[in-house]
Amino acid sequence: MRPIQARISIGAMAHNLRVARSYAGAARLFAVVKANAYGHGLSRARRGLAAADGFAVLTLEEAANLRQMGVEQPILLLEGIFGADEIAPCAELELWPVLHHAGQFDWLRRQPPVRPIQVFLKFDSGMHRLGFPLAEHAAVAARARNLPGVAGVTLMTHFAQADEGAGVDWQLQPFLHEVAGHGLPWSSANSAALLRYPETLGAWARPGLMLYGASPFTDASAELLGLRPAMTLQSEIIGVQSLQAGEGVGYSQLFRAKRPMRVGVVACGYADGYPRHALTGTPILVNGRMSRTLGRVSMDMLCVDLSEHADAGIGSPVVLWGEGLPVETVAAAAGTSSYELLCALAARVPVLEMD
Ligand SMILES: *Cc1c(COP(=O)(O)O)cnc(C)c1O
């Protein structure tokens, strides 16, 4: 069998949820499990994050799957309903849709749910992606409260820079200023805001990334935050080459040896979810010690520098990211984010589930 494997730890997710809880104060927690739980598998996340107060997903299908798995907590649909045909299933499965444009109100008015539902009204406080303009808050909230079939309203916004120096204040202050008068519960915090800005907590926080054990920040590691990586992508060396000075390795011969050296070939490529744009020098663990990738990542293989790994050979274990090598470190070296790497784990990679 091809030696690549993703070890996914249910216990690490449970641990990270406890860490999230320790930051959350009185706020309740939606565990964000969209995108196949950031690549970790919806069913595994459901078990690891069973103690969450609710779950947040993108699609009706994900929500229905969670209900089928026995989830009884509230389920938030982060982008709400995509058509009037999704109202009935929302009521049936007791889902909480986000409402972010007027068309969704019209659908609800024409086809009121048979059972009253909770809705989240999303306001745009500066990200300029989804949501009603903050200036329209009074009219939007009034419309929502008057809709037939709406049992309760929570106000919501999303931050564009909670993980950066610019922070949340420029969005949070206008949001709080406008929504405070409604006396309604509100929700704003993603992982970064939950970890760094307690004033964002409100009634419900919505952490995703941190539950999988990655840090949203460049200036604070997951370890420093007390988080444990839930996914370790590992493989083995399946070939060894000896290069002479001047010889190249891989497609386009992007790396050339300056002196004679040994190169290991690892069974992991971009078709497994490893980033193709990772250049020579991306950190990688061989036999538990740091090395670097060499040259271009292939579909099924990549190369590592064994110059200082005399002990390594065919069968030596390699960690691409996870335990001992934070996914953030690999993401930074590859010019991408830990979100993208985790989500991109390919379906062909066998998963070993750990406690
Ligand atoms: C994905 C998402 C989150 C979770 O964000 P993290 O940075 O992963 O914690 C929270 N809220 C909304 C609206 C989202 O789309």
Q: How is the chain split among helix, strand and coil, in percent rounded to 5?
A: 30, 25, 45
3-state secondary structure at position 237: strand
Mean pLDDT of the chain: 97
More confident residue, 181 or 242: 242
CA of 32 to the centre of ligand 1 (A): 7
- Domain residue ranges in the chain: 10-212, 231-354
Q: CATH for 231-354?
A: 2.40.37.10
- CA dist 74 and 28 (Å) reads 11
Measured distance between the N- and C-terminal CA atoms of the chain, rounded to whole angstroms:
23
Encode 264-313 in three state secondary structure.
EEECCCHHHCCCCCCCCCCEEEECCEEEEEECCCCCCCEEEECCCCCCCC
| Structural element, H or E, at residue 99 | strand 95-99
Counting atoms of ligand 1 from 1, which one is nearest the CA of 162? 7
- Best of 163, 190, 201 to mutate for ligand 1, by most ligand atoms within 8 A of CB? 190
- 251 classed as catalytic: yes
- Ligand 1 pocket, CB under 6 A: 32, 34, 78, 158, 190-191, 206-209, 216
Model pLDDT, residue 347: 97
pLDDT digits (tens, 9 = 90+) for 126-178: 999 999 999 999 999 999 988 989 999 999 999 999 999 999 999 999 999 98
Instruction: Give the pLDDT of residue 213.
Output: 98
pTM above 0.85, yes or no: yes
Active-site pick, 34, 122, 197, 212: 34
Pairing of strands 54-57, 28-32: parallel
Question: Rg of the Cα trace of the chain?
Answer: 23
- What is the CA(42)–ligand 1 centre distance, in A? 16
10-212: what CATH class? alpha beta
Q: Which atom of ligand 1 is nearest to the CA of 34?
A: 1
- DSSP string of 175-213, one letter each residue: HHHHHGGGT--EE---HHHHHH-GGG-SSEE---GGGGT
How far is the centre of ligand 1, averaged over its atoms, from the C-alpha of 145 (Å)? 26
> For position 205, what pLDDT does the model report?
98
Q: Token match 């000896």: residue?
A: 242
Q: What is the pLDDT of residues 35-55, one digit of tens each?
A: 999 999 999 999 999 999 999
Strands 231-243 and 261-266: antiparallel
Predicted local confidence at residue 180, as pLDDT: 78
What pLDDT score does 236 carry? 98
- Best of 32, 122, 204, 225 to mutate for ligand 1, by most ligand atoms within 8 A of CB? 32
Are 39 and 345 in contact, with CB atoms under 8 Å apart?
Answer: yes
Q: How many CB atoms lie within 10 A of CB 298?
A: 17
User: Mind listing the pLDDT tens digit for each residue in 331-345?
Assistant: 999 999 999 999 999
pLDDT for res 189:
98
The residues near 180 (Cβ < 8 Å, ≥ 6 apart) are none
* Distance between Cα 316 and ligand 1 center (Å): 37
Apex 263 CA angle, 257 and 266, nearest 5: 135
